Chain A
Amino acid sequence: MLKNLCQKMFGRSLWVYHANSGGCNGCDIEVLTVLTPYYDVERFGIKLVGSPRHADVMLCQGPAMHSTAKALRRAYEAMPSPKLVFAIGSCACGGGIWHDSYSVMGPVEKVVPVNFYIPGCPPRPEAIIYGVAVAVGLVDKKTAPVQFKQLALPIPRYHPGDLRGEGELVVYEKVEKI
């Protein structure tokens, strides 16, 4: 029973560890802005801690580089479970503009398993708070994949061999499927 209570309290007091593995620090500044009085995120119980052993959530920022991949993995393994990983910014979600550079390994999910993505370059502080609120369960998600199909295959095609002249009309004999 105590265990249930403790697990329910998880969403109401998240302690956050910020790990920047090679980004440009734009998202760093946005994360810091979230902790300031305007966008105060401490009212949700979120606190910035200095050691991964105290933290519940790792905020990853910047793509995973060849040089920092090991350190990022060790920081992830130092966190006690239950743990979450949030990837903040385009670089952490998919590699960013540097995704095919020589020193970049790729998005952060090549090194640690990511639970939540907050894209943006850099994401607005409101976007970060919205992402955290969706993760905690306060609000609903606002994105869904979009697919538009202008036609369905196979399409019929007119073959010149099937055209027949009948007087002044051009008659089409058969429809061929490709």
Chain B
Amino acid sequence: MSLLSKLKETLVCLKAGRVTLPYPARSRPVPPNFRGRPIFDAAKCIGCAGCANNCPAHEILVFDVCQEVRILKYLGRRCTYCGRCADVCPEKAITMSLEFETGTDRIGDLQQRLDLFMSTCQRCGRCFKEPSLLEQLQQKGYRFDDLQNERWVFRSQSYLEGEPAADDITIELD
């Protein structure tokens, strides 16, 4: 703690000059493998819901309006930018962009909603049948995630009317 060592320390810091990045004025280039916000390309999406099944935070909700229309909603609230959706997508419709400047005062600004037309047979109007019986068993069926409350629906009984999707635990704050 001698005075001389403190003076030397001061001189070293002063020689470094000013290292502050003038951030909002000028930005630094982002490293090329950076995983920013995922962008969903609706022209390529086939509505398989593989991204929704793989998302660790259950961030992508799937809702079937009718046999032909499927709504995919990416909420953007709890996304951890892991990139699993982009990895799994068979059509490469999801890209992890380089955007990270996503501060906003309404959380609804981050959502991306795709209303997709699922191809059905134009003559009979039903979905294409899987080639073998075994693959027919693997069909997941219709999905009715809760778009209003932005929640996945897990229990099969919740598809019936009148059953709550999940219970809320109340806590009292005094």
Interface residues of A (CB under 8 A from B): 37-40, 43, 66, 69-70, 73, 90-91, 93-97, 99-100, 105, 107, 111, 115-121, 123-124, 126-135, 138-139, 141-151, 153, 155, 157-160, 178
Q: Are A149 and B57 in contact (CB under 8 A)?
A: no
Contact of A145 among B56, B99, B109 (CB under 8 A): B109
Q: Are B77 and A115 in contact (CB under 8 A)?
A: no
Distance of A135 Cα from B101 Cα, bound (Å): 13
Interface residues of B (CB under 8 A from A): 19-21, 23-24, 27-28, 40, 42, 56-58, 65-66, 68-69, 75-82, 99-117, 122-125, 166, 169, 171, 173-174
Q: How far is the CB of B45 from chain A (nearest CB, A)?
A: 9
Q: Which residue of B lies closest to A44 (CB)?
A: B24
Q: How far is the CB of B35 from chain A (nearest CB, A)?
A: 10
Q: Which residue of B lies closest to A144 (CB)?
A: B109
Q: Are A148 and B77 in contact (CB under 8 A)?
A: no
19 additional A-B residue pairs with CB within 8 Å, beyond A148-B112, A150-B117:
A38-B19, A38-B21, A39-B20, A70-B171, A73-B173, A90-B80, A94-B77, A100-B166, A107-B77, A117-B104, A119-B77, A119-B102, A126-B27, A131-B101, A142-B99, A143-B102, A144-B109, A146-B111, A160-B124
Distance of A110 Cα from B82 Cα, bound (Å): 25
Residues of the A chain whose Cβ atoms lie less than 8 Å from the Cβ of B28: 126
Q: How far is the CB of B46 from chain A (nearest CB, A)?
A: 11
Distance of A132 Cα from B69 Cα, bound (Å): 40
Contact of B103 among A97, A99, A127 (CB under 8 A): A127
| Contact A155:B79 (CB < 8 A) given known A40-B20, A126-B27, A150-B115 | no
Distance of A76 Cα from B87 Cα, bound (Å): 41
Q: Are B23 and A39 in contact (CB under 8 A)?
A: yes
Residues of the A chain whose Cβ atoms lie less than 8 Å from the Cβ of B114: 147-148, 150
Distance of A127 Cα from B114 Cα, bound (Å): 27
Q: Are A66 and B107 in contact (CB under 8 A)?
A: no
Q: Are B58 and A100 in contact (CB under 8 A)?
A: yes
Residues of the B chain whose Cβ atoms lie less than 8 Å from the Cβ of A159: 125
Contact of A127 among B75, B102, B109 (CB under 8 A): B102
Q: Are B100 and A124 in contact (CB under 8 A)?
A: yes
Q: Are A158 and B123 in contact (CB under 8 A)?
A: yes
Q: Are B20 and A94 in contact (CB under 8 A)?
A: no
Q: Are A90 and B68 in contact (CB under 8 A)?
A: no
Residues of the B chain whose Cβ atoms lie less than 8 Å from the Cβ of A127: 100-103
Q: Which residue of B lies closest to A73 (CB)?
A: B173
